Amino acid sequence: MLDKPTTKNMIDTPVAERMPREIAPGVFWIGDCLVQRHKGKEYHGYNAAFLVSGNDASILVETGHPKDFPVIERHLNALFARGVAPLKYLFVTHQETPHCGGLGRILKTFPDSLLVGDVSDYHLAFPQYEHRMRPMLEGDEIDLGGRSLMAVEPVIRDLRTTWWGFDTKERVLFPGDGFAYSHYHEDGHCGLVAEEAVSLDLPDVSSTFADLALFWTKFADMNVYCDRLDHLIARLNVKTIAPTHGLPITDVQATVPKVQEGLKAAALKPEAGTNEKVSAVAAE
Ligand SMILES: [Zn+2]
Ligand SMILES: [Zn+2]
């Protein structure tokens, strides 16, 4: 079922050249990595997008980082050329650049598409597309023909306006900033699902990401959030998790506890601060 990437020369082939990857039937992972530096190391983060294709229509979940639009567009067109149903919907988990930064260009490039999810404020940036925005609330579903995309509770979120997405057919959860963790290009993790990246220390990288990007996890009891996450996963019977920044999770039972371990560990440490800073003295 999974289109396993060929391992030969994988490190030398940019991930943008190896996508799309089908992570569940009709669910395609697209986009590219973003290089970041932290504690002297080169981390890669994903700003992934996913295309969910039904019998009649497809929905794009997230738009990718603004720099990735040419890659996202190429991946989408490759899928449509293969006969995947046309793009009718765009769902973004929240209003942050790596998630919705390509929104205007998607709506422009695919003039029949509608923006769905939380749509607050987008009409202020794109008044020309206001008539193509449809708000969703928890439990609302978009019918794609044989499957639907549902808005579900965003347990680990960045903004208050966040919704998570859920594919009702293959039971794929799209948690936006939930399950966020970086990976190492040098170790060949790019384009792998979490269970294939055996050398990736998931508790460590998920703790780092929480430290850098989800400040509120320092001030909350993450045991409560992790329990709620378990509850959501059980209630929806989630089979696959497709995070925007982390590697997709295809063995929920084995991998989710490792990510939760990182969230709980990060919550107990003081905030380390954002990306590498040059000290004021050194900069002079
Ligand atoms: Zn994010
Ligand atoms: Zn990478």
Give the residue, 173 or 40, on which the prediction is more confident.
173
Q: How far is the CA of 281 from the centre of ligand 1 (A)?
A: 32
Dihedral of CA atoms 6, 12, 17, 18 in degrees, nearest 10, equals 20
> Does the pLDDT value for residue 4 go beyond 70?
no
Q: How far is the CA of 11 from the centre of ligand 2 (A)?
A: 9
Q: How far is the CA of 189 from the centre of ligand 2 (A)?
A: 6
Cis before 20? omega within 30:
yes
- What percentage of the chain reaches a pLDDT higher than 70? 91
User: What ligand has the least distance to the C-alpha of 190?
Assistant: 2
Mean pLDDT of the chain: 91
Contact in structure between 195 and 249 (CB atoms under 8 Å): yes
Q: What is the mean pLDDT of residues 156-167?
A: 94
Considering the entire predicted model, what is its pTM? 0.91
User: What ligand has the least distance to the C-alpha of 48?
Assistant: 1
List beta partners, residue 237: none
Q: What is the mean pLDDT of residues 39-49?
A: 85
Distance CA 56, CA 87 (A): 9
Residues across the chain = 284
Distance CA 150, CA 145 (A): 13
Hey, CA dihedral for 164, 263, 44, 271, is it positive or negative?
A: positive
Q: How far is the CA of 177 from the centre of ligand 2 (A)?
A: 17
Q: How far is the CA of 249 from the centre of ligand 2 (A)?
A: 16
| pLDDT score of 276 | 53
Closest by CA position to 52, among listed 137, 163, 173, 157: 173
Query: How many Cβ atoms sit within 10 Å of the Cβ of residue 135?
Result: 13
> Does the pLDDT value for residue 247 go beyond 90?
yes
Q: How far is the CA of 48 from the centre of ligand 2 (A)?
A: 11
> Does the pLDDT value for residue 138 go beyond 60?
yes
- Under the banding of pLDDT at 50, 70 and 90, the label for residue 40 is confident
- Alpha carbon 140 to chain centroid, angstroms: 20
| pLDDT score of 269 | 83
Q: Out of 117-131, 196-210, 214-228, give the one with best mean pLDDT.
A: 117-131
Contact in structure between 143 and 209 (CB atoms under 8 Å): no
Q: How far is the CA of 8 from the centre of ligand 1 (A)?
A: 31
- Under the banding of pLDDT at 50, 70 and 90, the label for residue 10 is low
| pLDDT score of 43 | 82
Q: How far is the CA of 112 from the centre of ligand 2 (A)?
A: 32
| pLDDT score of 119 | 97
User: What ligand has the least distance to the C-alpha of 180?
Assistant: 1
